[in-house]
Structure 1
């Protein structure tokens, strides 16, 4: 290839040919449907023609072109999309929740004129506030339901959540060869150890962190408590098992005041 060759700003190479999802890696956060599609190994930029479900005819834009929407009928998409929403509701995955809002102009029907973005359940925050800041605006209406299509998750938060589920391959972990994690994380493996699996997931989840208030051991213990669904033992996680796992994961055996990086 000529040294003068330039494709999308990358001289001398065409990264998109080797990795169709190459430019998606530039994102620091992702809309929830895009994240779900990427986790399933597909391209969020692909679209498909919209059809009337009952009659089977295509929908058209005013200029005569086909109406298109993001392609989502990938294997596993609904399961992953649902898991992401569930994790956000449970608080195990941080997100910027989006709510659609509208303002009625002179009594007209409210349209979707603006969005409200919140780090937590917006309406729960409003209910906890003694003085509703929107009460005096009679023409303002904010939808109760979260707009999941516009809700975003931070890439690093998403990776931490995926690690906690044993996913360490695919788009978000390009240097890993396997998508479903290591054999020792497979609950169906004949040598599966639930304590080892939880220990590895905890270690991986805390890997990106650099500072630990209260110390490393406290952070490990707090993560285990906050992620009960990661435990895959036949019986509930006992105090002695949690103690063994915390001791195993703890890389700061000396204790004392926490330093940068633990």
Structure 2
């Protein structure tokens, strides 16, 4: 097995480990990552780390937060900063979040799932609309918040519109092809009863 494969045994990671793994780097090789300047860090690392940290802070991704240093604010208030090295995130939650962002390849997705020929853009029979329908279904299912105030079909349409460029679902002027997206959302929609979205409570 490759050295990265052993990291798949982990149930939880911190944001530094996540950022390195998602760009294909072994965290063992960058245990000193925080001591490096930004221009010395691997390409994509800073963006990945910032994205997950923001998702945790906005409560889009649950995490076990650990308090770090106690700091005093200019107004005299004091609070604990988050210790991001000790804070842990479940890998399953990371995977759900990545799917909701349209990412379906890389370390966090097993090869046996990724090698499906119908999802391979290099395959000579690749059908982008089919791939879009499948990825939209996966992303919306992985993000329960996406259907809290809208029907699954509307959530699917929103995802397809946001990722239209990736699947060639745009018009000549570059804008999303809403008619095409609506047709694809009908295929991916599991709630065919229609009606207003259900609300909890």
* TM-score band, normalised by shorter chain: 0.5 to 0.7
Instruction: Give the TM-score normalised by the residue count of structure 2.
Output: 0.59
Matched, 1:37 2:23: no
Unmatched tracts of structure 2, length 5 or more? 34-40, 59-67
Match of 1:251 in 2: 190
Which has more radius of gyration? 1
Matched, 1:69 2:8: no
1:166 and 1:185 in contact (8 A); partners too: no
2:14 and 2:89 in contact (8 A); partners too: yes
Match of 2:121 in 1: 187
Superposed CA deviations along residues 77-103 of structure 1, whole A, max 9, x for unmatched, are: 9345255257559xxx82338xxxxxx
Q: Which has the higher helix share?
A: 2
Counterparts of 1:230 and 1:151, CA distance in 2? 35
Counterparts of 2:47 and 2:117, CA distance in 1? 22
- 2:142 match: secondary structure: coil
Mark the CA change 1:200 to 1:208 in structure 2 (over 3 Å): closer, same or farther: same
Give, in angstroms, the shift of residue 162 of structure 1.
3.4
Counterparts of 1:232 and 1:209, CA distance in 2? 21
Once the two structures are superposed, the pairs formed by residues 1-262 of structure 1 within 5 Å of their partners are 20-21=6-7, 23-25=9-11, 27=12, 30-39=13-22, 43-44=26-27, 46=28, 69=32, 78-82=42-46, 84-85=48-49, 87=51, 94-96=55-57, 113-114=69-70, 134-137=73-76, 155-163=91-99, 164-167=102-105, 170=107, 172-174=108-110, 177-179=112-114, 182-209=116-143, 212-213=147-148, 214-225=150-161, 227-228=162-163, 231-233=166-168, 235=170, 236=174, 237-258=176-197
Q: Which has the higher strand share?
A: 1
Compute the RMSD of aligned alpha carbons.
Answer: 4.5
Total equivalences in the alignment: 172
1:95 and 1:152 in contact (8 A); partners too: no
